């Protein structure tokens, strides 16, 4: 479809509708195809009880989780890129991810169970959100430069503490922390997917209705001020909503890179920079990208001597990194 100069509702509905249909098709296929392959007929007829257990306790939660996390990371990437007016910004730029990672790592070092690790990590994200919000404010405003510098410095401090903790723990705990920092979709149940989805859905709902204001925010403070537009309240709403989404995903899935950087850039290159269209398509594209990446992490070393599974963060970096450079060079 050729993008018209003005975004009409019909065009928006057609493009987003096609994207959502493709999203549903990919989700359905990934829920059944291997490894190992699960036949829908065996699942319906209940001929193979093991197939039902595998589908509902392992495959379906993981696929849904991948789509939720991918959509969330991509959405927060769009939000932060508009907020900072920087196409290279990603969900981990503004420090909340560092707080979540520090909380999760500290909980792992203390030997907490997985539910407690996620709870402490999310608490760390909320505390860091409040701290960064407070430190970055200047006379009640939230300037982009102050927000960016505060977030970057907070991330550097948090990861310095993570390295300190990592040097004081056992090898087994260090290995667990490594997987958390790379990003993984392991050890998730339908109940956990539900909790993450509720947190993410709330943030996405707010950001969706802020997508038109993202166009204004991305103009910059000087431009909006000269036009007589006050975008400060929208900047704060976008920052808080996107940060909560990042905190929830990092708490459960770790630091999965390149989704929030690669997917929005790809969508923007094809459909333009109108956030009313870029935002929903990035959510859809992020879910598909992470779902397919997780499938590849299963498939690559499923057979052979290794019989292992790569962390999904490795796959997203190996695909997203080179392809992002290609897209960037093409757009220049």
10 is a domain residue: no
Identify the pLDDT of residue 183: 84
173 is a domain residue: yes
Q: Are 148 and 94 in contact (CB under 8 A)?
A: yes
Q: How many domains does the structure of the chain reveal?
A: 1
67: domain range?
Answer: 17-32+39-331
Task: Band the pLDDT of 281: cuts 50, 70, 90.
Answer: very high
7 is a domain residue: no
Identify the pLDDT of residue 313: 86
Distance between CA 319 and CA 223 in Å, rounded? 37
Tell whether the model's pLDDT for residue 73 goes beyond 90. yes
**Is the peptide bond between 36 and the residue preceding it cis, with omega within 30 degrees of 0?**
yes
Tokens of 62: 């993981």
2 is a domain residue: no
Query: What share of the chain in percent tops pLDDT 70?
Result: 91
pTM beyond 0.85: the answer is: yes
Identify the pLDDT of residue 182: 85
157 is a domain residue: yes
12 is a domain residue: no
5 is a domain residue: no
CB-CB neighbours of 301 under 10 Å: 13
Q: What CATH number is attached to the domain comprising 147?
A: 1.10.3470.10
Q: Are 199 and 252 in contact (CB under 8 A)?
A: no
Tell whether the model's pLDDT for residue 268 goes beyond 50. yes
Q: Are 289 and 316 in contact (CB under 8 A)?
A: yes
* Averaged pLDDT for residues 156-165: 94
Identify the pLDDT of residue 304: 57
Instruction: Give the mean pLDDT of the chain.
Output: 86
285-317, pLDDT tens digit by residue?
999 999 999 998 888 766 656 566 788 888 998
Query: 3-class DSSP state for residue 303?
Result: coil
128-138, pLDDT tens digit by residue?
999 999 999 98
Identify the pLDDT of residue 197: 93
194 is a domain residue: yes
């Amino acid at each position: 479809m050729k993008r018209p100069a003005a975004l009409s509702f019909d065009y928006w509905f057609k493009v987003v509708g096609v994207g959502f249909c493709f999203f549903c098709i990919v989700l359905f296929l990934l829920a059944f195809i291997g490894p190992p392959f699960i036949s829908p007929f065996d699942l319906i007829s209940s001929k193979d009880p093991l197939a039902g257990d595998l589908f509902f306790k392992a495959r379906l939660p993981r696929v849904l989780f991948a789509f939720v996390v991918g959509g969330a990371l991509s959405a927060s990437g769009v939000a932060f890129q508009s907020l900072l007016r920087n196409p290279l910004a990603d969900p981990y730029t503004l420090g909340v991810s560092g707080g979540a990672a520090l909380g999760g790592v500290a909980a792992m070092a203390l030997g907490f169970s997985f539910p407690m690790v996620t709870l402490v990590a999310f608490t760390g994200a909320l505390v860091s959100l409040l701290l960064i919000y407070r430190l970055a404010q200047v006379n009640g405003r939230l300037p982009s430069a102050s927000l960016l510098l505060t977030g970057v410095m907070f991330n550097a401090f948090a990861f310095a503490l993570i390295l300190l903790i990592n040097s004081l723990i056992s090898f087994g705990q260090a290995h667990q922390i490594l997987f958390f920092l790379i990003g993984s979709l392991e050890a998730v149940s339908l109940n956990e997917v539900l909790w993450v989805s509720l947190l993410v859905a709330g943030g996405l709902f707010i950001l969706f209705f802020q997508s038109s204001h993202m166009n204004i925010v991305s103009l910059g403070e000087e431009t909006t001020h000269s036009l007589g537009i006050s975008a400060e309240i929208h900047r704060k709403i976008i920052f808080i909503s996107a940060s909560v989404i990042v905190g929830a995903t990092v708490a459960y899935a770790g630091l999965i890179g390149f989704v929030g950087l690669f997917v929005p850039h790809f969508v923007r290159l094809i459909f333009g920079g109108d956030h009313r269209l870029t935002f929903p398509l990035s959510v859809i594209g992020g879910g598909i990208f992470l779902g397919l990446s997780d499938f590849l992490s299963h498939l690559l070393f499923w057979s052979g001597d290794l019989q292992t599974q790569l962390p999904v963060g490795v796959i997203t970096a190996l695909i997203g990194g080179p392809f992002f450079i290609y897209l960037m060079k093409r757009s220049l």
